[in-house]
Amino acid sequence: MSDNRSHLEEKYTWDLGTIFASDNDWEQEVQALNAALDQAKSDAGHLLDSSSQLLRITQTQLALSRRIETVYVYAHMKNDQDTTVAKYQEYQSKAAALYARFGEVYSFYEPEIMALDEETLSDFEAQEAGLKPYRHYFERLLKNKKHVLTPHEEELLAGAQEIFNAPEDTFGILDNADMSFPTIVDDQGQEVEITHGNFIKLMESKDRKVRQAAFEALYQTYEQFQHTYAKTLQSNVKVHNFQARVHHYDSARQAAMSANFIPEAVYDTLLASVHKHLPLLHRYLKLRQEVLGLSELKMYDIYTPLSEVDLAVSYDEALAKTEKILEVFGPDYAKRVHRAFTERWIDVHVNKGKRSGAYSGGAYDTNAFMLLNWQDTLDSMYTLIHETGHSMHSTFTRETQPYVYGDYSIFLAEIASTTNENILTEALLKEVTDDKERFAILNHYLDGFRGTVFRQTQFAEFELAIHQADQAGQVLTSDYLNNLYATLNEKYYGLPKAENHYIQYEWARIPHFYYNYYVYQYATGFAAASYLAHKIVHGQPEDIERYLDYLKAGNSDFPLAVIAKAGVDMTDTTYLDEAFAVFEKRLTELEALVAKGVLH
């Protein structure tokens, strides 16, 4: 087990004392917020009494939201650093309850604002100049006005939320708690039980027998439960289609995307472009087959790394290298990266009770903290530069925008982080001299692209197909889902479905199919990032300026207008074509290294 937190060097831990100097200060703020929420209750029913009331209530709501955000961030980060401390478990519960209470108190706000028409808003702005900065905020709320039902109807639907969440909740319990998988023999000759946590590691095994055994054991288990999984997924799709229909949308996709102000053309452009470039994926898989020395490639051969090189890197080395690489963005960006790396924004090492994974967090009034669980690997360095991208995005947005626009849409979030990853790849390829290391870096990039752009688009296509099928009256039986998924998988990977029988059950284990049109954003984000990184490294100084304008924009405009500031039109195929051009260039280079015999 890793060390207790008390044994860690302070410089490798984040400094949450910059949020609240003491736990006592946090508790006093929670009390003060509860009192303020008591007072705010009386504002219900009075939002549009006058221009001054609209301004006062809007400002009060945003100010309370801003304070609660800070309270919540402190509690959840204290809990994340060591989840065994009961005090901070309780803090996190109190903070979550405060958010819920805030939601209840201000549940009047959105229904009341829907009574606002353009003429009244213009009159109010003429009477009260203080309303002008909130014009875009009101515009966002009113954009989907025709899809908001009466307060009573919305209240009924809100009350049924727990029922609507049941399919996803059932999937979660079945998949994480009730499912158990068989035991196989691993590379070391040890018996090991397959889990969600070790499955990919087993699929990366150099021993093909281990990969095949893990693959077949996992999917044979899903095969046994396919009818139950089909029912949970079908019910979930029905919930999405029902909610879209009652809110007067043409489809669940239109409802999900309009919530983020993204036109459906972005989705269709992605599918069409990926279809056009599928021969590149088939070419990469052909190369994979050649490198692995196989007479035929199977789905369980997709994940094993082609390189034997282990590029070890310590945290302090990664920090110095990342700081140097990110100087490409200019002095403003570099100065903020230096602050993050030297002023204890990062919680670095694994310790007993620390939550797994990595994230960039924080609130409008705090540093953009990062949680890592560092290992001395190239992957950890990619994670560091990825989370730094999120943190710089947050920092520039919060410094530039008022609180009302001080966040950014999920659609844009992954672009800043993945652009950094792509810039790291560019830098590593520029400096590497050893062919074997170059091969490892190219392989890492191509696998990342395959897993994010091609695979997530395959998921997005499946998700669209099942929602449309249900809308057309098709029953989503396991037979229907298996056949649909196997056909799509054959189209994407070019591997015959008859010879890859078990992949037809993969849909059953993907939690993202319960997220309501979320996965396409991984693919658009990665492609945009690949395009932008290439422009930043090889383009003009104004490309960097435009990119920084995107980082600073926050929610001050609609998402597509914000990313257009960086020079990307996401309704057009150009950014995707450019991303695929980078993929092809690196694939060609990998093919040349193989032909050169670099692996022998």
Kindly list the catalytic residues: 387
Q: How far is CA 8 from the centre of its chain?
A: 30
CA distance 346 to 372: 7
Where are the strands (E) in 310-395, listed by range? 346-347, 359-360, 370-371
What stretch of H or E contains 183?
strand 183-185
CA distance 118 to 96: 36
Backbone φ and ψ of 304, nearest 5°: -65, 130
What stretch of H or E contains 193?
strand 191-193
CA distance 554 to 505: 40
CA-CA-CA-CA torsion sign (5, 6, 7, 10): positive
The distance in angstroms from the start CA to the end CA of the chain is: 39
- Note the residue count of the chain: 600
340-346-350 Cα angle (round to 5): 160
CA-CA-CA-CA torsion sign (409, 414, 416, 417): positive
Q: How far is CA 349 from the centre of its chain?
A: 23
Backbone φ and ψ of 347, nearest 5°: -100, 110
CA distance 91 to 283: 53
- C-alpha dist (Å) from residue 267 to 273, 460, 464, 468, 591: 10, 8, 10, 14, 31
Cα Rg of the chain, angstroms: 25
Backbone φ and ψ of 185, nearest 5°: -100, 125
CA distance 443 to 426: 13
CA distance 503 to 490: 10
3-state secondary structure of 191: strand
Contact in structure between 1 and 352 (CB atoms under 8 Å): yes
3-state secondary structure of 256: helix
Contact in structure between 300 and 489 (CB atoms under 8 Å): no
What stretch of H or E contains 192?
strand 191-193
Q: Tell the burial category of 149 from Cβ atoms under 10 Å away from its Cβ (0-12, 13-18, 19+).
A: middle
